[in-house]
Amino acid sequence: MNFLSEEQEIWRRTVNRFMDEEITREYVRKCDMERQYPYEGFDKIAAQGWLKALIPEEAGGDGGNIFDYALMCEALAKYGFDFAASLLVSTFTALNVVHHASPEQVERLVKPFMAGKLRFAILISEPGVGSDVSGVKLRARLDGNEYVLNGQKLWASGSGAENTVLCVLARTDPDVGRHGGLSIFLVPNDTPGVDIQPIETVVRRMTGTYQVYFDDARVAPDTMLGEEGQGWQLITDHLDIERISISASYVGNAQQAVDDALAYAQEREQFGRAIFEFQVIRHRLADMQTRVDAARLMVYRAADMASRGEPCTKEVAMAKLFASEALREVSLQGLQIMGGHGQLPEADMERYVREGTQATIGGGTSEIQRTIIAKHMRHS
Ligand SMILES: Cc1cc2nc3c(=O)[nH]c(=O)nc-3n(C[C@H](O)[C@H](O)[C@H](O)COP(=O)(O)OP(=O)(O)OC[C@H]3O[C@@H](n4cnc5c(N)ncnc54)[C@H](O)[C@@H]3O)c2cc1C
């Protein structure tokens, strides 16, 4: 994209090169196939200081803006969204934490996170709570000078990784309507009364996704983020950042799907010529690249507006909708171009397809993004 500034272009290339030389596609593939959390990759990224991105300088971070963060996400996801997810679940949760944390919480949680010694996971969904987040039931009751947590969370990505703090949306007051009475607690994943069980989903094999049971888990009041009853506001603030980062990641993964399909089409020969010579294949690739470029432009627009502090919920929802569907579509087309070879894990395309099927669900489904967009539409 030639409208990136020189600094942004250098940053984009730096993270891309790091992925190629330090992380590698083979490492991403291996973690996916073996369902291994990418501790080594996480440590390498922490060593670069990239976990400080967007964390305000007063809290010891590097500051920067969300556009640069989006460029990083795009590159980190090139060999599969899940690798980026293993970091981003932590980084976008840390960003929300740092904006509402007490100075003591910044010292205890955010600083160790930036040093790569601690991770975060975000626990909103429950068995009965998906798109309608306001229905959260997990209960937190004050008992003496502790809160007692009881209930179940579902799809809690990254919750089982070592040294992870669970950012838990809980109901502290059931009598003040669905959006009121919610609060957030920052609960270490080795707290007694917290039981974390892996779920064998088709994606998120390296980050891992879990069901988490809270059975009389007792936590101190200083585990609360912000104030009691602020949970809804904090989670809403969180969602725009989360959606920009994941949309940028879908674009990075989708671009790699196009690149891999193009390379294969140029190399694979049938009927005495490279299959790229068949017009149907060339046109398919042209459509794929056009779709990815359009998704990238939408993500950059949303990130640019967010970095300038402009309201952009509609543009963020458009970016999430379009980029997730772009990843799903181009990876499926890539699979078709690669024929039988695309089915093999070594070809990587089957991983991109799996990511594409989840992209339109996680972080808010495509239907919910369309609902948000429609809600913000005005006559121009
Ligand atoms: C691999 C994976 C990782 C995840 N990681 C996390 C995580 O780390 N933390 C976390 O809190 N959650 C996580 N989630 C949960 C994810 O955010 C939810 O799956 C998502 O919000 C959708 O909720 P649901 O699956 O319960 O679907 P439902 O809300 O039950 O929706 C089912 C279908 O109905 C449609 N639908 C629902 N309401 C409407 C409506 N009003 N209008 C039109 N259509 C509607 C949906 O679009 C969808 O097609 C993860 C999920 C997966 C699969």
Ligand 1 centre to CA of 365 (Å) is 6
Of the candidates 378, 373, 364, 239, the one whose C-alpha atom is nearest the C-alpha of residue 314 is 373
Helix 313-337 and helix 366-375: axis angle, to 10°? 150
String of DSSP letters for 186-198: EEETT-TTEEEEE
Ligand 1 centre to CA of 233 (Å) is 20
Q: Pull the structure tokens for residue 65.
A: 């803006």
User: Alpha helices, DSSP H only, in the chain?
Assistant: 6-18, 25-33, 39-48, 66-76, 81-100, 103-105, 111-114, 231-267, 279-307, 313-337, 349-359, 366-375
Ligand 1 centre to CA of 90 (Å) is 20
* Cβ neighbour number for residue 344 with a 10 Å cutoff: 11
Nearest protein CA to atom 4 of ligand 1, as residue? 155
Which of the listed residues 184, 206, 361 should we mutate to test ligand 1's pocket, taking the one with most ligand atoms within 8 A of CB?
361
User: Alpha helices, DSSP H only, in 227-346?
Assistant: 231-267, 279-307, 313-337
Which of the listed residues 155, 249, 320, 368 should we mutate to test ligand 1's pocket, taking the one with most ligand atoms within 8 A of CB?
155
pLDDT, position 2: 55
- Averaged pLDDT in 10-residue chunks for the chain of 380 residues: 84 97 98 98 97 94 94 97 95 91 95 96 96 96 97 98 97 91 97 97 96 98 95 87 95 98 98 98 98 98 95 96 98 98 97 98 96 93
User: What homologous superfamily is domain 122-229 in, according to CATH?
Assistant: Butyryl-CoA Dehydrogenase, subunit A, domain 2 (2.40.110.10)
Of the candidates 49, 47, 29, the one whose C-alpha atom is nearest the C-alpha of residue 38 is 29
In contact, 165 and 188? CB cutoff 8 Å: yes
Q: How far apart are CA 25 and CA 78, in angstroms?
A: 9
pLDDT, position 239: 83
Nearest protein CA to atom 40 of ligand 1, as residue? 368
pLDDT, position 194: 98
In contact, 19 and 79? CB cutoff 8 Å: yes
Ligand 1 centre to CA of 155 (Å) is 9
Domain extent listing, the chain = 6-118, 122-229, 233-375
Helix 231-267 and helix 313-337: axis angle, to 10°? 30
Atom of ligand 1 nearest to the CA of 365: 47
pLDDT, position 178: 85
Q: C-alpha distances in angstroms, 208 versus 181, 191, 203, 249, 380? A: 30, 19, 8, 17, 44
Q: How far apart are CA 98 and CA 118, in angstroms?
A: 14
Q: How far apart are CA 337 and CA 347, in angstroms?
A: 12
Ligand 1 centre to CA of 131 (Å) is 5
Of the candidates 243, 148, 254, 166, the one whose C-alpha atom is nearest the C-alpha of residue 209 is 166
pLDDT, position 379: 86
Atom of ligand 1 nearest to the CA of 358: 53
**Options 1.10.540.10, 3.40.50.970, 3.40.50.300, 3.30.70.141; which CATH number does 6-118 get?**
1.10.540.10
**Options 3.30.450.20, 1.20.140.10, 3.40.605.10, 3.20.20.70; which CATH number does 233-375 get?**
1.20.140.10
Q: Pull the structure tokens for residue 114.
A: 């930036």
pLDDT, position 128: 97
Atom of ligand 1 nearest to the CA of 157: 8
Atom of ligand 1 nearest to the CA of 125: 11
Ligand 1 centre to CA of 126 (Å) is 10
Pocket of ligand 1 (CB under 6 A): 89, 122-125, 130-131, 155-157, 201, 203-204, 209, 358, 361-362, 364-365, 367-368, 371
CB crowding 297-329: b at 16 or more within 10 Å, else e:
ebbbebbbbbbeeeebbbbbbbbbbbbbbbbbb
Checking DSSP bridges between strand 119-123 and strand 164-171, what pairing results, if any? parallel
Q: What is the pTM of this model?
A: 0.96
Ligand 1 centre to CA of 367 (Å) is 10
Q: How far apart are CA 197 and CA 211, in angstroms?
A: 5
Atom of ligand 1 nearest to the CA of 131: 29
Q: How far apart are CA 151 and CA 12, in angstroms?
A: 42
Checking DSSP bridges between strand 139-143 and strand 182-188, what pairing results, if any? unpaired
Per-residue pLDDT of 30-81, as tens digits, reads: 999 999 999 999 999 999 999 999 999 999 999 999 999 999 999 999 999 9
Ligand 1 centre to CA of 211 (Å) is 14
- DSSP letter assigned to residue 142: E
Ligand 1 centre to CA of 133 (Å) is 9
